[in-house]
A and B are shown apart, each in its own frame.
Chain A
Amino acid sequence: MSRFIPDSRTNREDMLRVIGAESFQDLLKPVPEKYRMSRPLDLPGPLSEMELVRAFRELAGRNLGAGMVCFAGGGAYDHFIPAALDHILLRSEFYTAYTPYQAEVSQGTLQAIFEYQTMIARLTGMEMANASMYDGGSAAAEACMMAMRVTGRNKVLVAGSLNPRWLGVIRTYIRRKDLQLDEVPFGSDGTLDLKVVEDLAGDDTAAVLVQYPNYFGLVEDLEPLAETVHRHKGLLIAAADPVALPLLRSPGGAGADIVVGEGQSMGIPLSYGGPYVGFMASTVKLARKMPGRIIGRTEDRAGQTGYVMTLQTREQHIRREKATSNICSNQALMALANTVYLSLMGEEGFREVSSQCYHRSHYLEEGLMEIPGVSRMFGDTPFFREFVLSFPVPAEELRGRMLDEGILAGVLLPELGEGAMLITATEKINRSQLDDYVRLSSGICRGGVS
């Protein structure tokens, strides 16, 4: 008998009597015989708690890449997570709670999301934010469709310097005959070529989507892009790295209309890709066209402040086929992780994380640039915390040899060349680890052993 099921044996007979059934089989009457399984499922188990722990330890032990010194980014980053955070996430009050439809007994969840919305809006320089999307990629896809709804136009220009996996998600979401996605190639400096945007943008352009910093870590200048797209009455969508925002010009300040991004960096473990959390922020004017849940502040019958899910007539459970999105379950607990993380880090702490990513990445880049044969892929274009170098050996080989040293060296970029690699350094990586990277890769590039 399972430890999760209190009454499968003990009170079963009494309950069946109340139901008026002679046996459990009576309850299966509506299921025609021919659709009932005539054999037990063929599954392993059951495992006791101890056996399960052993099985998981064994699996975890074969993840040789876990806990390596991580220089890989490309949309997921190895950041420090304060211990207090998990103590909140493991509180039953949050993680075993349901979606806050019954607002009177869900004020904890609702207020926490309201605080999340506030933090996201402030970071991005926007007026409001929603309660979360699945991840950065799907948030970007939803933003494109939102821009099409807002403008009544069907074309979106997407920067070619966007994370290719995000572009893949957008293509999947916009795989419709009435919508069009055009890619804007990046220039030799790795950023969007404003002239090309000016040529491509027109009165049928719903939005221009640009990543900030872009996939190669380079900081795009948003303001002239915003001016260009606004001239045609389209929208600027910025896909922003939140860790860059304490230092970079805020997308809202630069003229973005919708800002989306990936929240993994803010207190969420790498966990091989998920669950993460997407954020979406915009001007209040666009709130009614936004997908997903939105929490608003209001009052109860006695005039006390309280929080509810609001603007629900946009959502699938009310509007059905006319809803702004089909999203129902979102990433509430991951959004809570972001909220607690930003609360602990605070204004100074998060700025410090941002700043350390910047300085450590630059220190590493300069060190690597001293290795003969290593070159910058995009010249002197300012980057934030991630950069692309071309190595004189195949990047795959370099990555393989570094793995043997317990280092995940970066993300391969075969589309930019055999030697190209995308590298990042977060606040978790100290000077000696940075120096090790340079020393080891130098040895590999010189063809010697490390």
Chain B
Amino acid sequence: MRTIFDICSPGRIGVSLPGLDVPAHEGLPENLNREGDGGAGLPRASEGQVMRHFINLGSMNYHLDKGMYPLGSCTMKYNPKLHENLARMEGLAGIHPLCPDSHVQGTLELMHHLGELLCEITGFQGVSLQPAAGAQGEFCGIMLIKSYHESRNEPHRNEVLMPDSAHGTNPATSTLADCVVVGVESNEQGLVDPEDLRRKAGPNTAAFMLTNPNTLGLFESHIGELTSIVHEAGGLNYMDGANMNALLGIARPGDMGFDVCHLNLHKTFSTPHGGGGPGSGPVACNGKLADFLPEPVVVREEDGSFSLKRSRDSFGRLLAFHGHIGVLYRAYAYIMSLGAEGLREVSEAALINANYLKARLSGHFDNPFDHGPCMHEFVLSGDRQAKLGVKTLDIAKRLLDYGIHAPTVYFPLIVHEALMIEPTETEGLEELDRFVEAMISIAKEAEEKPHLVTDAPVNTPVLRLDEVKAVKDLCLVEPAAEEGDPE
């Protein structure tokens, strides 16, 4: 499709601004102004042309209001429409972040209350709403743990233990936090091997990072033993809360020996994914770590008012301001609309939907870790199809032809040709069956007409794209118009 720069013509504009009603001040000195650099090269189009351009772009997108996203560990659930309106209310969206506390009591109360709700949901005592996304929540959590060790005169603790099935952000976060990653092996059941953890936990252990349910969709059933091993070695336990959608009202990280976890509000709490963000990754922790939470923290004063407090031992701040407040509004609305019973219903339905898909698909694909019920997701292997020359990537692309988004593929790394499937609770039986039928049909195609799968997709706005060329002939911006071209 043409770019916005292709529909530009001199004189076009998409806004009307009031005229300048104050005297013009003299211009900037020559060494500071842009005149020598030419214009900024921005588009020139009318409002209608801009609308049409972006609507046409949007028509090339798959999205949740069109169909399901069976994306494991991503929890792509329905985004309630009312919450978009609420977050846009003038009284909530029109407030400057440096507005004095006295004039932002509504938002501060909401933040304080949301913090309490997240503590109840996770079984923790302290919370920071500041982290921008899950990965920044992880960074926050590891920094809390480091601060704790430093306060106990153990700054040398710099090893972060994690299973080989961990999300990529876990090791990347550990590096960012100046720690060393130590891998822990999984056993045949797909769970962390306690013996290997025991071997690796020791005097340099800062933290053990674990996703529970893990990235195979399995609950780490000996979780108490794992967290005890780490505590006995003097380390702390971090839960990656990406899979919290399985546990609402069912089990709490704070009750399993974890010391801190992050939550992905853009997963579990239904805030929109926005094509890649914004997320929000609040961190909840127990009393050992609460003093180190990053500033600012909302507190309730004795007179019932709310204020932002800088905490004494905080390790610093993660964002310029207080966090993704607009995302917090939506997550708060979600929790309030569901209540305790509704949240439990979320996880129950998520588990049933995942187990239903697993039951219906297991005969058609390999399922290397099928030792009983899964939680909210499960991981199939495309090994059987790969032997026929049809890779998991091909299966993913063929699903697009069936009008369904692909599952998460090639993750976790411990499963060959992995297809990681998470339907979420907001998909109905009809949609689940449509997905099952597409998958079975593709499995059959792989046996009978494999080229249909390996040539896929063919029903999409573009065909399979050349990623090698994208790297080799880097084109990251629209080239500037040639000289002599009409600007």
Contact = CB atoms under 8 A, between A and B. Distances in A.
A427 to B, nearest CB: 6
B273 interface: yes
A7 B467 CA distance: 40
A107 B98 CA distance: 38
Interface residues of B, number: 197
Nearest to A301: B463
Interface stretch (B35-43, B197-205, B380-388): B35-43
A107 B1 contact: yes
B94 A67 contact: yes
Nearest to B21: A431
Contact of A326 (B24, B139, B475): B139
A171 B138 CA distance: 17
Given A37-B252, A122-B42, A272-B95, A18 B477 contact: no
Contacts, number: 708
A61 B106 contact: yes
Contacts of B50: 84, 340, 343-344
B32 A169 contact: no
Given A98-B74, A327-B135, A41 B375 contact: no
Specify which of B29, B61, B338 lies most central, judged by the most chain A CB atoms within 10 Å of its CB: B61
Contacts of B169: 316-317, 326, 328
Contacts of B344: 40-41
Nearest to B171: A321
B25 A60 contact: no
Interface string B394-428: 00110010000110000100000000000001111
Contact of B58 (A55, A94, A277): A94
Nearest to A212: B32
Specify which of B5, B251, B275, B324 lies most central, judged by the most chain A CB atoms within 10 Å of its CB: B275
B276 A99 contact: yes
Chain A's interface size range is 35 or more
Contacts of A320: 168, 171-172, 181
Contacts of B14: 82, 84, 343-346, 349
A24 B250 CA distance: 12
Contact of A37 (B29, B45, B251): B251
A178 B92 contact: no
B47 A82 contact: yes
A326 B319 CA distance: 15
A200 to B, nearest CB: 23
A15 B429 contact: yes
A277 B277 CA distance: 10
A383 to B, nearest CB: 10
Contacts of B336: 44-47, 52, 55
Given A56-B92, A62-B109, A76-B98, A325 B172 contact: yes
A382 B30 CA distance: 11
Contacts of B339: 43-47
Interface string B212-223: 000000110101
Specify which of A41, A80, A300, A342 lies most central, judged by the most chain B CB atoms within 10 Å of its CB: A41
Contacts of A59: 91-92, 106-107, 109-110
Specify which of B40, B132, B469 lies most central, judged by the most chain A CB atoms within 10 Å of its CB: B40
B63 A96 contact: yes
B476 A117 contact: yes
Contacts of A46: 336-339, 341-342
A307 B1 CA distance: 10
A61 B135 contact: no
A400 B100 CA distance: 9
Interface stretch (A150-158, A227-235, A288-296): A288-296
Contact of B273 (A78, A99, A105): A99
Interface string A10-37: 0110111011110010111111101111
B60 A107 contact: yes
A109 B80 contact: no
Q: Is the interface of B mostly helix, strand, loop or mixed?
A: loop
A246 B270 CA distance: 38
Nearest to A364: B22
B333 A105 contact: no
B177 to A, nearest CB: 8
Interface in A386-426: 399-400, 403, 408, 411
B460 interface: yes
A326 to B, nearest CB: 4
Interface string B237-269: 000000000001111100110000000101000
A248 B474 CA distance: 29
A87 B333 CA distance: 22
Contact of A325 (B40, B171, B176, B276): B176
Given A59-B110, A363-B22, A24 B352 contact: yes
B143 interface: yes
Given A94-B275, A293-B276, A249 B251 contact: no
Interface in A116-134: 117-119, 121-123, 125, 127-129, 131-132, 134
Contacts of B157: none
Contact of A123 (B23, B40, B121, B256): B40
Contacts of A37: 249-252, 255
B17 to A, nearest CB: 5
Specify which of B42, B461, B474 lies most central, judged by the most chain A CB atoms within 10 Å of its CB: B42
A226 B78 CA distance: 49
Nearest to B320: A137
B55 A91 contact: yes
B224 interface: yes
A169 B320 contact: yes
Nearest to A93: B58
B320 A18 contact: no
A332 interface: yes
Contacts of B324: 274-275
Interface stretch (B65-73, B228-236, B282-290, B444-452): B65-73
Contacts of A199: none
B272 A95 contact: yes
Interface stretch (A160-168, A201-209, A440-448): A160-168
A444 B61 CA distance: 56
A437 interface: no
Contact of B61 (A18, A30, A109, A175): A109
A12 B64 CA distance: 23
Given A46-B342, A102-B406, A97 B36 contact: no
B163 interface: no
Interface string A272-283: 111111000000
A16 B89 CA distance: 42
B317 interface: yes
13 contacts: A4-B338, A28-B250, A45-B340, A86-B88, A98-B64, A105-B62, A109-B61, A272-B322, A326-B139, A333-B272, A344-B50, A351-B40, A359-B24
4 A-B pairs closest in CB distance: A60-B91, A273-B321, A333-B274, A93-B58
Given A91-B54, A321-B175, 10 more contacts: A6-B427, A19-B355, A27-B355, A37-B255, A98-B74, A111-B1, A272-B99, A296-B476, A329-B264, A366-B25
